């Protein structure tokens, strides 16, 4: 054994690694906590990768924004400070309107449609990530978004002046159009936002309401089926290129499985979360006609504002998706 090799074997032994000295250790950051099904899925993905590569690649997942704040995850992966990240895709809307096409009402209102929309937008999204030296691995939808309030929402006037927590800019616009006062708040900051009285209500999914114990702050969930927004998991391209071919293949294969598993987890978690909300005393109902009309009107405005902002490419992708749906 030559000197350099014997040294790296020694280092590997010192680090407790049972694999070869060339084994890669990746760092991954996600803003979502361990109670989220997305985080459970990505941790399973990391385990699958370690197993399939015999430890040639290990991915250490740092959840709940503990290592990198949400807004810094993509820049960090781009720079290569960390190798992998997960984010709420629509938070990239200031870069390109295609990223927020899954937070528009009336575009995809079911899991089937949301998945088709992902397939339709994937090539352009992949290209935009590639332009910045990154590669998407998979994307998984949250359950449909609805509205949490501490009163029964039965009148559109109730939105007037209501301080509503929203997870992205488009949802803030939506709240604004309804007459409310939107505040962008990270999922992990939801408890503080309510307990300090910064917000009265929030827009999110059954899943986030459940994992953030919404019953501590609100009493009603209006299951409005607004839209099904996605998280995306992506990596630094150079880090990928440094892996040998077999490891690359194993990684991509595990990612494909994570995507499939994740969409199913989302459906299951939606059911389980709706039950958990009710068991903990939250009244779950669909919007009444008047509220539904107000949501529809705000949604229409949101959609036309998006069309005005969207470039030709993004509009074309949406048209192709809509065309496919009609066929
Ligand atoms: N949960 C995340 C994003 C959408 C969702 O359902 C959140 O509210 O921050």
Digits of tens for pLDDT over the chain (327 positions)?
Answer: 444 444 444 444 444 444 555 799 999 999 999 999 999 999 999 999 999 999 999 999 999 999 999 999 999 999 999 999 999 999 999 999 999 999 999 999 999 999 999 999 999 999 999 999 999 999 999 999 999 999 999 999 999 999 999 999 999 999 999 999 999 899 999 999 999 999 999 999 999 999 999 999 999 999 999 999 999 999 999 999 999 999 999 999 999 999 999 999 999 999 999 999 999 999 999 999 999 999 999 999 999 999 999 989 999 999 999 998 888
- What pLDDT sits at residue 13? 44
Contact between 128 and 95 (Cβ < 8 Å): yes
* Residues with a CB atom less than 6 Å from ligand 1: 88, 142, 167, 187, 204-205, 207-208, 229
Nearest atom, ligand 1, residue 203 CA: 8
- What pLDDT sits at residue 1? 40
Q: Rounded CA gap, 109 and 154, in Å?
A: 22
Distance 186 CA to ligand 1 centre (A): 8
Q: Which domains does the chain have, with CATH numbers?
A: 23-142+229-274 (3.40.190.170), 145-227+282-326 (3.40.190.10)
Tokens representing residue 239 in the block: 């880090």
**Which residue's CA is minimally distant from atom 4 of ligand 1?**
204
Q: Hey, which residues does 233 pair with through a beta bridge?
A: 86, 138
**Which residue's CA is minimally distant from atom 8 of ligand 1?**
204
- What pLDDT sits at residue 121? 97
Distance 118 CA to ligand 1 centre (A): 17
Alpha helices in the chain (DSSP H): 3-14, 37-52, 70-79, 111-130, 169-178, 190-195, 206-211, 237-241, 245-279, 289-309, 312-326
- What pLDDT sits at residue 22? 79
pTM: 0.93
Q: How many CA atoms lie within 13 A of 58 on its CB side?
A: 12
Distance 15 CA to ligand 1 centre (A): 37
Distance 191 CA to ligand 1 centre (A): 14
Nearest atom, ligand 1, residue 187 CA: 9
- What pLDDT sits at residue 21? 59
- What pLDDT sits at residue 325? 85
Q: Rounded CA gap, 246 and 202, in Å?
A: 45
Distance 327 CA to ligand 1 centre (A): 32
Pocket residue to mutate for ligand 1, from 90, 148, 167, 211, most atoms within 8 A of Cβ: 167
Q: What are residue 296's phi and psi, to 5 degrees? A: -60, -45
Distance 120 CA to ligand 1 centre (A): 22
Q: Hey, which residues does 147 pair with through a beta bridge?
A: 203, 222
């Amino acid at each position: 054994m030559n000197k350099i090799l014997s040294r790296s074997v020694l280092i590997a032994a010192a680090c407790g690694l049972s694999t070869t000295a060339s084994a890669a250790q990746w760092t991954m950051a996600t803003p979502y906590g361990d109670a989220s099904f997305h985080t459970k899925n990505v941790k399973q993905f990391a385990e699958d990768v370690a197993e399939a590569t015999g430890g040639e690649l290990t991915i250490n997942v740092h959840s709940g924004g503990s290592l990198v704040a949400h807004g810094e995850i993509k820049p960090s992966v781009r720079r290569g400070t960390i190798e992998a990240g997960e984010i709420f895709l629509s938070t990239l809307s200031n870069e390109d309107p295609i990223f927020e096409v899954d937070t528009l009402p009336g575009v995809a209102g079911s899991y089937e449609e949301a998945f088709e929309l992902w397939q339709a937008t994937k090539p352009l999204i992949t290209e935009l990530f590639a332009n910045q030296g990154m590669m998407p691995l998979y994307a998984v939808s949250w359950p449909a978004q609805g509205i949490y309030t501490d009163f029964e929402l039965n009148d559109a006037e109730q939105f007037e002046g209501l301080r509503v927590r929203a997870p992205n800019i488009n949802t803030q616009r939506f709240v604004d159009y309804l007459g409310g006062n939107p505040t962008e708040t990270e999922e992990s900051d939801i408890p503080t936002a309510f307990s300090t009285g910064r917000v009265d209500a929030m827009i999110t999914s059954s899943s986030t309401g459940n994992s953030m114990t919404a019953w501590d702050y609100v009493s009603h969930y209006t299951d409005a089926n607004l839209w099904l927004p996605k998280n995306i998991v992506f990596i630094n391209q150079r880090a990928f290129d440094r892996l040998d071919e077999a490891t690359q293949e194993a990684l991509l294969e595990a990612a494909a499985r994570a995507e499939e598993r994740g969409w199913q987890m989302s459906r299951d978690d939606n059911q389980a979360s709706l039950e958990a909300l009710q068991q903990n005393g939250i009244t779950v109902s669909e919007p009444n006609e008047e509220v539904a009309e107000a949501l529809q009107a705000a949604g229409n405005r949101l959609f036309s504002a998006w069309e005005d902002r969207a470039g030709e490419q993004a509009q074309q992708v949406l048209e192709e998706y809509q065309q496919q749906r009609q066929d």
